Structure 1
Amino acid sequence: MNRYDLVCNIEFSLSEDRFSRLMLVDPVFKSLERALKTDGKGLFCLGLPLLECLWAGKVLKRHKIDSFPVPVEYACATVSKDDAREVAKLYLKRVEDQNRRFFEKNLIEARLSPALSRMTYGFICQPVKSEAECRLPGGLTICVDKVSAQVWEEVDFTQLDLMKWLICE
Structure 2
Amino acid sequence: MGNVCNGTVFNHPVQMTALACGVSMGTIYRLKPGQLPGNSSGQTAPPPPPPPPRKLTKEEEARKALLEQSCEQMRVLVMKKYGQEWGDIVRHFVLEELKQNKNLSVLELHNKLVWAYADFPMPAPTLYAFLKGLGFTYRVEGSKSIVVKPIVVKDITYTIP
Tell me whether the two structures share a fold, i.e. TM-score over 0.5: no
- By relative contact order (CA 8 Å, sep 6+), the higher-ranking structure is 1
Q: Which has the higher strand share?
A: 1
Q: TM-score range by the shorter chain?
A: under 0.3
Instruction: Considering fraction of residues, name the structure with more helix.
Output: 2
